[in-house]
A and B are shown apart, each in its own frame.
Chain A
């Protein structure tokens, strides 16, 4: 039974949970969104700052379980400093891993610490936890991009 639990709660996840990276809300930002998981009440407020096609900053204030908190932390590590297009590709890769029911082999070159979430995909009830802030990032980035073009 510990093996099943350990596949979910990888050390990397617990480390990010206890010591989240890039936490807190910062200026400047172009869009701020608030997303909730209606089934459990987990919440994230997330800001995105884009500059010349690059994700300059992702800042956040979040409350939730270890999976959602660690996922947010890992996401900021992965996306800050990346060109928007590449960030969106990483987003897509992480989404496919989470929706893969545990059948998708994670790509460590793309997802780095994110591969630790491969085990989460086997727990359908927790997939939404892992995706909460990723969906918030996508929303905030889309809002920013549509503001720029309008």
Chain B
């Protein structure tokens, strides 16, 4: 199959969990990577090595271990900066996850003064295909400030409806926040085009790259984003670590989020002054081991090459779309051509609820997600309560897609459908 990673078998050996046998001695067929990705040995080893040999708090311990730990943590920041082609390492801020990064942004917009401040009469624009974590923080912001929340609708084939873009993004728009790749529909959005319109009216562009960072080469400047977030655990890194990247001018203009240690310049009982970026936004002891693990993870992906990962995802996704089309009663939600979508495919199977599909697949060792995937509005748009989602990654094989398709046919016979 064209586009597959030439060293797929070697890559699979990097991920020890893929050797795992499930109940009944069945091999694991892991098709839930959009939920969380599996971790290569090098990430696990890097984290264990740090805990075994270098563990200390960072930036405040005047001993050898403290210096080693600080160096490893800051080296991880360098690696992440290189991964997303950030112009400056100081523009990379570690957070707990993408959700925290989005909440940081939405909250500091509420507290900002001057040009970035969001208040009554201002508008914030999102889209109907967002993950709840890129909806709820903006609802909270607009409810608290008296601003208005607006959103792009979706077309029937699961793309953003841009027909009213010039009306939707107007001189009242302060923020446009959108996902690069939909976690439910798989759609890859034209971020640069939307960002160009947003910049015409002086709005700030926030990009949720949680599903994009694992599978597309990212160049934050070329993307058009002013602020961009993603999470570590979907890019073969650990949980508990996320990233906020922002253009220096924007980050410097935003007020601090959490107050505490590390984010200060000096503190008196009456008032404090704050550290420069990135530390201004990193109050308290950060997730040190997780950041270091993330550094190893993005190094791993850079080594494989994001262009190659993207080609692999497209090949597997194309094969999966063909396989799903062969199962009677399957309806895929979102674009049907692999070229304009990511590796997550949500679908319905006529007559069987997603929970029941996932349960039958699980009994055959095939792990998928069932539910609303934290995208209830997008489901509602298509009149769907819940869906089943398969999501591939750089270690997914065509044989695993075959196992999914066989499992779906078996599900139909088990529930006596058709």
Hey, which bits of chain A sit against chain B, CB under 8 A?
1-2, 4-5, 8-9, 14, 39-43, 63-67, 69, 123, 126, 129
Would A1 and B355 count as touching, CB distance under 8 A? Answer: no
Cβ contact of B385, chosen from A4, A42, A67, A126, cutoff 8 A:
A42
CA–CA, A4 and B354, complex, Å: 18
The count of A-to-B residue pairs whose CB atoms sit within 8 angstroms is: 53
The verdict on A40 contacting B372 (CB below 8 Å), with A1-B364, A5-B360, A123-B359 known, is yes
Q: Is B124 part of the binding interface, using a Cβ–Cβ cutoff of 8 Å?
A: no
Would A40 and B386 count as touching, CB distance under 8 A? Answer: yes
Would A1 and B363 count as touching, CB distance under 8 A? Answer: yes
Residue among B354, B355, B414 with the highest chain A CB neighbour number at 10 A: B355
Cβ contact of B354, chosen from A1, A14, A43, A65, cutoff 8 A:
A65
Would A126 and B363 count as touching, CB distance under 8 A? Answer: no
Q: How far is the CB of A143 from chain B (nearest CB, A)?
A: 25
Contact residues in A for B359 (Cβ distance below 8 Å):
5, 8, 123, 126
The verdict on A42 contacting B363 (CB below 8 Å), with A1-B26, A66-B356, A67-B355 known, is no
Nearest B-chain residue to A63, judged by Cβ: B385
A42-B355, A42-B386, A67-B355 known; 8 new pairs, CB 8 Å cut-off, are A4-B363, A5-B359, A8-B359, A40-B372, A43-B385, A65-B354, A66-B415, A126-B355
Q: Is B114 part of the binding interface, using a Cβ–Cβ cutoff of 8 Å?
A: no
Would B355 and A14 count as touching, CB distance under 8 A? Answer: no
The verdict on A40 contacting B363 (CB below 8 Å), with A1-B24, A1-B26, A65-B356 known, is no
CA–CA, A25 and B356, complex, Å: 25
Q: Is B23 part of the binding interface, using a Cβ–Cβ cutoff of 8 Å?
A: yes
Would B24 and A41 count as touching, CB distance under 8 A? Answer: no
Chosen A-B contacts, 15 in total, with CB atoms closer than 8 Å, are A1-B23, A1-B24, A1-B363, A1-B364, A4-B24, A5-B360, A40-B354, A40-B386, A41-B372, A41-B376, A64-B355, A65-B353, A65-B354, A123-B359, A129-B355
Contact residues in B for A123 (Cβ distance below 8 Å):
359
Q: 8 Å CB contacts to A: which residues of B376-399?
A: 376, 379, 385-386
CA–CA, A69 and B351, complex, Å: 13
Would B379 and A41 count as touching, CB distance under 8 A? Answer: yes
Q: Is B370 part of the binding interface, using a Cβ–Cβ cutoff of 8 Å?
A: yes
Contact with A along B15-27 (1 / 0, CB 8 A): 0000000011010
Contact residues in A for B323 (Cβ distance below 8 Å):
none
Q: How far is the CB of B190 from chain A (nearest CB, A)?
A: 29
Q: How far is the CB of A13 from chain B (nearest CB, A)?
A: 10
Would A39 and B356 count as touching, CB distance under 8 A? Answer: no
Contact residues in B for A64 (Cβ distance below 8 Å):
353, 355, 385
For the complex of A and B, list the 9 residue pairs with the smallest distance between their C-beta atoms, beginning with the closest. Answer: A65-B355, A65-B353, A40-B371, A41-B372, A1-B363, A5-B363, A41-B386, A66-B356, A63-B385
CA–CA, A33 and B353, complex, Å: 23
Contact residues in B for A2 (Cβ distance below 8 Å):
363
Nearest B-chain residue to A8, judged by Cβ: B359
CA–CA, A126 and B363, complex, Å: 14
Contact residues in A for B23 (Cβ distance below 8 Å):
1, 4
CA–CA, A9 and B362, complex, Å: 14
Contact residues in A for B24 (Cβ distance below 8 Å):
1, 4
Nearest A-chain residue to B370, judged by Cβ: A40
Contact residues in A for B386 (Cβ distance below 8 Å):
40-42
CA–CA, A69 and B371, complex, Å: 16
